[in-house]
Structure 1
Amino acid sequence: MTTQTIKKNLTVKEAIESRHSIRKFEQETITKEELTEIFELVRLTPSAWNLQPWRFHVITDNQLKEKLQEAAYGQKQVTSAPAVVLVVSDMEDVIAHLSETVHPGLSPERQQEEVANLSSFFSGMSVEERGQWGLTQTNIALGFLLTAIQGLGFASVPMLGFDHEKVKELLSLPEHIKFGAMVPFGRQASEGYEHHRFPLDKIVKYH
């Protein structure tokens, strides 16, 4: 049975408390304006040194979603959702464009110093190490994405159960990128499970 569409513009508290992983979605197109509204929020995600290594690939083409479903071992939420976002980290692109991450309010000398320091820091890492470092930052953006989706009246389900190499091939992504998640989303057409979370005294320690 179709559930009532979540109202738009939930508070942060409402969005977090109401978010569940949803695997069946209404067959309702998400507009370009709605997608833009989501990603205008997500791009404000903070990151170390403002490097912003996250990149988002939004798939709405039905044939491509069918191929993604195959790569996700047949999980039906991939084709049920009107849109699927691949959240990836691309640190090699960041390294190639470090000057774009430096705040324009700094003096030219300070900007050059920042680029030099960052280049030196990351040149001491392997491509794999840089990729893993960038993924820790990209996971922050994943949290922002899930909250923005929910807060603007949609539902989602984050996934890592898919063949990463096959998805790279389907989207012509470079080998070095790291996946944060595959996120099908849309208007929910089913209820998620009730929250089952650890109590605070297990996850929060005060010192």
Structure 2
Amino acid sequence: MLLLATATTGQVLSVKDAIVSRHSIRKFVQKPIPKEDIDRIFELVRLSPSAWNLQPWRFHIVTDTELKESLKEAAYGQQQVTSAPAVVIVISDMEDVIANLPETVHPGLSEERKQEEVANLSSFFNGLSVEERGQWGLTQANIALGILLTALQGYGYSSVPMLGFDQEKVKEILGLPEHVKFAAMVPFGIAESEGYEHHRFSLDKIVSYH
């Protein structure tokens, strides 16, 4: 099986093959994922494009058995949460970004330009409510989510993005601030079952030329 081979031999799929072969998987091989593989995947994910380079995405990777059981309960008993050797919670935390704006400014800029960037960003985001800032950051986290799913597949790990869970319970389980926004809960590992064949709209349905 190609996906098993890539996960065990270190071979990497092309971008095209990773996208074409990706299916949502809900049953996984009971085998831990080497931390080196996870780090390799997130080295790619952190390069996701982000408006103003704010990078509001944060990733909470859960491998602890008891924590996964708690997450499964929060996800209304969905078995893939505990079947997967690892689960990543993808969130956006714009309040952390705003509190540390100088970290987002490119180091190659002059000090004057850095100060201007921080002042402009502060002015813009302080004019929004916490909820509005959170929604803005969520659009950015969703970009990283797409790249995460592709990177996982490219390295031979299957996944399933989920939004069917009690967000308040997950915040409590992981000790997350109230203001964070969730892009997805993503169980991942080596597939033990096959996913459904793709059923997607044709280009005529989704693409318009003007």
Q: Same fold (TM over 0.5)?
A: yes
1:93 correspondence with 2:96 = yes
Separation in 1, partners of 2:113, 2:87? 40
Pick one of 68, 71, 93 that aligns with 1:65. 68
Contact 1:3–1:188 under 8 Å retained in 2: no
SS in 2 for 1:65: helix
Q: Deviations over 1:92-136 (max 9, x none)?
A: 000000000000000000000000000000011000000000000
Separation in 1, partners of 2:206, 2:140? 21
Q: Which residue is equivalent to 2:188?
A: 185
Q: Which residue is equivalent to 1:154?
A: 157
Alignment of 1:47-196 (within 5 A): 47-196=50-199
SS in 2 for 1:21: coil
Contact 2:60–2:89 under 8 Å retained in 1: yes
What 5-or-longer segments of structure 1 have no aligned partner? none
Q: Which residue is equivalent to 1:15?
A: 18
Q: Deviations over 1:154-182 (max 9, x none)?
A: 10000000000000000000000000000
Aligned residue type for 2:179? H
Contact 2:134–2:179 under 8 Å retained in 1: yes
SS in 2 for 1:5: helix
Q: Deviations over 1:66-114 (max 9, x none)?
A: 0000000000000000000000000000000000000000000000000
Separation in 2, partners of 1:164, 1:143? 20
Q: CA deviation at 1:4?
A: 6.4
Residues matched between the structures, number: 206
Q: What fraction of aligned residue pairs are identical, expressed as a percent? A: 75
Contact 2:94–2:133 under 8 Å retained in 1: yes
What 5-or-longer segments of structure 2 have no aligned partner? none
Q: Which residue is equivalent to 1:197?
A: 200
Q: CA deviation at 1:3?
A: 8.8
Separation in 1, partners of 2:38, 2:2? 22
Q: Runs of 4+ in structure 1 displaced over 3 angstroms?
A: none
Separation in 1, partners of 2:56, 2:3? 36
